[in-house]
Amino acid sequence: MPAIQSLPAQTPAARQGNGLRLENISKHFSASADTRLQVLDNVQLDIAPGEFITIVGASGCGKSTLLRLILGLDEEFDGRILLDEKPIKGTGLERGIVFQDHRLFPWLTVEQNVAVGLKNAPLTPAQKRDTVREHIHLVGLQDFTESYPHQISGGMAQRVAIARGLVNRPSVLLLDEPFGALDALTRTRLQRELQNIWQHEKITMVHVTHDVDEAVYLGDRVVVMQPHPGRIRRIVDIDLPQPRNRSDARFIALRDDVLSDFAELS
Ligand SMILES: Nc1ncnc2c1ncn2[C@@H]1O[C@H](COP(=O)(O)OP(=O)(O)OP(=O)(O)O)[C@@H](O)[C@H]1O
Ligand SMILES: [Mg+2]
């Protein structure tokens, strides 16, 4: 798999603003005509512009539901979601998403798949082409622009999905277990690359993972959720310099600390 290029430093413009505020978010689903399932209970979180938040928690504790609400796919919830102090309304170009399965169109090339992300962008065709190429370069796939999804590896496909999620230059990128389906080596490599991209793009990341090691490796803060109903159990500051060293005693201590929550929950 090709490596991503060394990236030139960018101005920190994208770090301005007030960030993302989740204010008393509660969410119910109708399980049947007369039963309501509470999935999220009073989730409150202030995310600073440019912060990398990772979310871990048992299956079913509402992590994907929370991302769907932030993305604006589901507007039926209690509470408010504010981006730079303005309530979000539906989906918007300032919020991108990457899912666990890459969701690329098999009949489109890498370049065309990334361009899908720009469908609604107010850009000329030439600006779109340049932006697509820039983002393909960002994820190190410049030699694969004409390839189709079946011609590239799972890790490369996930990098295409990341490029597509970033191509609108969102201020927030939401990632729902983006590396969950990858082998351990590829996952470790993409974690490093994602961190590199984050430092380059200076955007806010909200990254859901089942992997506590990944959460501590990437996050400025790790949000630990617990189920029935889904809520924040605690938030752990990861006050370690980036890039992190997994064999550092402080890293191991923080990882074990977060893991201990899971032992208590199971
Ligand atoms: N559209 C829906 N209708 C009814 N219930 C739903 C719906 N979507 C999710 N749920 C329920 O909400 C709860 C939370 O689901 P969600 O997918 O957000 O969990 P999760 O934390 O992302 O889990 P996982 O780690 O397995 O991905 C689950 O009990 C699920 O069954
Ligand atoms: Mg999920």
pLDDT at position 2, please? 52
Going from the Cα of 172 to the center of ligand 1, the distance in angstroms, rounded, reads 22
Task: Count other Cβ atoms within 10 Å, centred on residue 224.
Answer: 22
- Asked if residue 3 is part of any domain, the answer here is no
How far does residue 176's CA lie from ligand 1's centre (Å)? 13
Ligand nearest to the CA of 175: 2
The pLDDT value recorded for residue 265 is: 60
Mutate to test the pocket of ligand 1, among 37, 56, 66, 73 (most ligand atoms within 8 A of CB): 37
H/E run at residue 167: none
Residue 187: inside a domain:
yes
In percent, the amount of the chain with pLDDT more than 90 equals 82
34 part of a folded domain: no
Q: From the CA of 66, how far away is ligand 1's center (Å)? A: 10
Residue 135 inside a domain? The answer is: yes
pLDDT beyond 60 at 9: no
* Nearest ligand atom owner, CA of 58: 1
Q: Which atom of ligand 1 is nearest to the CA of 30?
A: 4
Q: What is the CATH number of the domain that holds 218?
A: 3.40.50.300
The one-letter code for the residue type at 199 is: Q
Give the pLDDT confidence score for residue 51 in this predicted structure.
97
What's the distance, Cα to Cα, between the start and end of the chain in Å?
37
66 occurs within a structural domain? yes
pLDDT band at 38 (very low <50, low <70, confident <90, very high): very high
Query: DSSP letter at 230?
Result: B
- Residue ranges making up the domain that contains 71: 49-78+90-265
Specify the range with the lowest mean pLDDT, choosing from 13-27, 133-147, 186-200, 205-219: 13-27
For the Cβ of 228 lying below 6 angstroms from any atom of ligand 1, the answer is no
Within a domain: residue 251? yes
Ligand 1 atom at minimum distance from 225 CA: 21
Query: Which pairs with CB-CB distance under 8 Å and at least 24 residues apart come from 31-35?
Result: none
Ligand 1 centroid, distance to 51 Cα (angstroms) = 26
Tokens 């079946």 found at: 150
- pLDDT value at residue 266: 55
Q: How many domains are contained in the chain?
A: 1
Element (H, E) at 204: strand 204-208
Q: What is residue 17's predicted lDDT score, i.e. its pLDDT? A: 74
User: What pLDDT shows up at residue 16?
Assistant: 62
Mean pLDDT, range 146-165, rounded to an integer: 95
Ligand 1 atom 9 nearest Cα: 65
Neighbours of 189 (CB within 10 A): 17
Residue 35's pLDDT is 87
The secondary structure of residue 133, as a DSSP letter, is H
Q: Give the tens place of pLDDT for each residue, 136-148.
A: 999 999 999 999 9
Residue-level pLDDT at 261:
87
Question: Is position 59 within any domain?
Answer: yes
Q: Does some domain include residue 110?
A: yes
Question: Residues 227-250: what's their mean pLDDT?
Answer: 95
Ligand 1 neighbour 49 (Cβ under 6 A) = no
Is 29 close to ligand 1, i.e. is its CB under 6 Å away? yes
Q: What pLDDT does 177 receive?
A: 96
- Average pLDDT value over all residues in the chain: 91
Ligand nearest to the CA of 225: 1
State mean pLDDT over 55-68: 95
Q: Is 39 in the pocket of ligand 1 (CB under 6 A)?
A: yes
The neighbourhood of ligand 2, an ion, using CB within 5 A, equals 64
Q: Which ligand is nearest to the CA of 59?
A: 1
* pLDDT given at position 33: 78
- For the chain, counts of helices (H) and of strands (E): 7, 10
How much is the pTM?
0.92
60 C-beta closer than 6 A to ligand 1: yes
